[in-house]
Amino acid sequence: MGVRLMVVDDHRLLAEALASALKLRGHRVLAAAAPTAGAAELVITRAPEVCLLGTATPAEPGMFDPVVRIKRERPQVAVVVLGPVPSPRGIAAAFAAGASGYVRHDERIEGVERAIMKARAGEAAVAPALLQGAFSELLNPVDQPDDEGQRLLQMLTPREVEVLVRVADGEDTRLIAAGMGIAPSTARTHVQRVLMKLGVGSRLEAAALAARTGLLDRAGPVHLHSPPASPQPLQPDF
């Protein structure tokens, strides 16, 4: 039997895509809404069985306040957080607020669905690999220093690193597509995945984060598919 659920994420396009995929798998998706700030009110009003709540910064203070309110006013609603690779503090904060699970943004739809079903059944929905990574970081802090740039870099594929370099150089979707020899729609998808993995909402934020963390310095030389284009103003495509 399908689950009555809601998908709430600041990235409306991603929320709607996930909602559509879950509908195709037989679930009853009540809404795909943004921004996350309005999640609690919407979930309390619609009272789904499960709410998928997207977040870009799971360790930020107050990020899970909507979860606290949802569980206080609709305790029967299971909340599964959808976010980036979490730190132990991020996972702990989600569960302390009352969440039933944590799923990575880049998880396959099958994994998301498993988390939904576990949450509805009252079980904790966290991938063993996430728990293992969290415990490893807690037990071996010296072996895993807090290097945000290196951590973010490990989340990106070589192609996505190239996309980030081009974004940081000010290239828009058209120039990225031309420089990499791919369709604009493919370039746009690559950019969106980079933004999602970095947990930011715009190209400007991605460029700023890369500069702040030294991410691109850690990447070493990146072989672009064409000579670097002249710097262009950063232009949001979304």
Instruction: Map out the domains of the chain with their CATH numbers.
Output: 4-138 (3.40.50.2300), 146-219 (1.10.10.10)
Q: Minimal CA–CA distance to 186: which of 202, 206, 213, 162? A: 162
What is the average pLDDT score of the chain? 81
The model's pTM is 0.57
The owner of tokens 């598919």 is: 225
Taking only the tens place, the pLDDT of each residue in 85-110 is 666 777 878 888 899 999 888 788 99
| CB 148, CB 31: distance < 8 Å | no
Question: 29 is written with which tokens?
Answer: 């998706």
Taking only the tens place, the pLDDT of each residue in 25-84 is 999 998 777 676 678 888 999 999 999 998 877 666 678 889 999 999 999 999 999 888
Is the pLDDT score of 235 beyond 50?
no
| CB 53, CB 81: distance < 8 Å | yes
DSSP assignment of 34-91 equals --GGGHHHHHHHH--SEEEEE-S-TTSTTTTHHHHHHHHH-TT-EEEEEESSPPHHHH
The DSSP code for 86 is: P
Quick one: pLDDT band at residue 222, thresholds 50, 70, 90? low
